[in-house]
Amino acid sequence: MSQAKLSLDQVRLEYRTAEKTVLAIDGVSFDVPENQFAVIVGPSGCGKSSLLYLIAGLSERTGGDIRLDGREVDGPGPDRGMVFQSYTLFPWLTVRQNVEFGLVRRKVPAAERERIVDGYLNATGLAQFHDSYPKELSGGMMQRVAIIRALANDPEILLMDEPFGALDAQTRITMQQLLLKVWEASRKTVLFVTHDIDEAVLLADRVYVMSARPGRLKAVIDIPLARPRHPDAALEPEFLALKRRIQGLLGGHGDGGH
Ligand SMILES: Nc1ncnc2c1ncn2[C@@H]1O[C@H](COP(=O)(O)OP(=O)(O)OP(=O)(O)O)[C@@H](O)[C@H]1O
């Protein structure tokens, strides 16, 4: 196999406060190959978000090693694009200005910037809203902007922390399909966190199952379902078998342990 895009080796995280120390992540090791859509599932509080923050370089691990393209992660950087569950757009900037934010900072020439941003706005049905401000958008639209803002920067890896968790069921399905479409065109390496097993099986090439706190890696499940994947894929026996297997690993709860 080729060199891993992202490599975690015995990653450990303790939260220390004056009163106590909480062991949140205990010795997690795995590799994500380039171009893979990797999904982490696990029960609430198992450290999924914390792990993503460590990879993003937004918090510091207590032990172990995290490498992107063989280089050690020791802080945030433009090689990692992050999409959070809550809406994190700049409220004072328009949709276009939000999406091109990183490109402006990197001094990408205006014509090139416009080409990249227009491509993403068109692909996600946001072209007519390019002059709108975040407060004028629905939750699903804001998350679309957040996703293409991260992609426009052309990061080495896209880190997504329950990006559809706050959306209603129908918008969530629309957003999953949109993400799959954009991803299939770019094949960017993705690490996506969710507690929703259906979402994990629908999106992933591979699912990393974590145990309850302290978070440990419990299993790695390959998802060999054909792409492109439509919402109906969830009705196929192969899909249901994979889902059941992951449910079993999480303790049999249909909602992933919540
Ligand atoms: N700043 C902090 N100080 C102390 N403990 C923390 C802190 N942040 C998180 N924790 C604890 O670390 C554990 C992991 O939290 P984390 O948010 O990463 O889990 P998660 O799997 O993403 O949960 P969820 O699915 O509910 O979002 C939890 O038990 C949480 O209570």
- Residue 95 contacts residue 130 (beta carbons within 8 Å): yes
- Which of 20, 21, 25, 49 to mutate for ligand 1's pocket (most ligand atoms within 8 Å of CB)? 49
Taking the C-alpha atoms of residue 129 and residue 123, their distance in angstroms, rounded to an integer, is 13
Ligand 1, residue 161: give the atom nearest the CA: 22
Answer yes or no: is pLDDT of 252 > 70: no
Angle formed by the axes of helices 110-123 and 139-152, nearest 10°: 140
Query: From ligand 1's centre to the CA of 220, what distance in Å?
Result: 22
**Edge-to-edge order in the sheet of strand 71-72:** 21-32, 6-16, 63-68, 71-72
Is 209 strand, coil or helix?
strand
pLDDT in tens, 111-131: 999 999 999 899 888 999 999
Indicate which residue's Cα is closest to atom 31 of ligand 1.
45
pLDDT in tens, 230-249: 889 999 999 999 999 999 99
pLDDT in tens, 45-95: 999 999 999 999 999 999 999 999 999 999 999 899 999 888 789 999 999
Quote the ipTM score.
0.95
Query: From ligand 1's centre to the CA of 225, what distance in Å?
Result: 32
pTM: 0.91
Query: From ligand 1's centre to the CA of 193, what distance in Å?
Result: 13
Taking the C-alpha atoms of residue 80 and residue 58, their distance in angstroms, rounded to an integer, is 11
For the chain, domain boundaries: 1-79+159-167+188-258
Top mean-pLDDT range of 1-5, 179-183, 237-241, 249-253? 237-241
Residue 248: half-sphere exposure toward Cβ, Cα within 13 Å: 8
Top mean-pLDDT range of 76-85, 158-167, 191-200? 191-200
- Architecture of the CATH domain 1-79+159-167+188-258: 3-Layer(aba) Sandwich (3.40)
Q: What is the mean pLDDT of the chain?
A: 91
- Residue 149 contacts residue 102 (beta carbons within 8 Å): yes
Measured from the CB, is residue 48 less than 6 Å from ligand 1?
yes
Indicate which residue's Cα is closest to atom 12 of ligand 1.
24
Q: What's residue 2's pLDDT?
A: 59
Query: From ligand 1's centre to the CA of 110, what distance in Å?
Result: 41
DSSP state of 234: G
Measured from the CB, is residue 214 less than 6 Å from ligand 1?
no
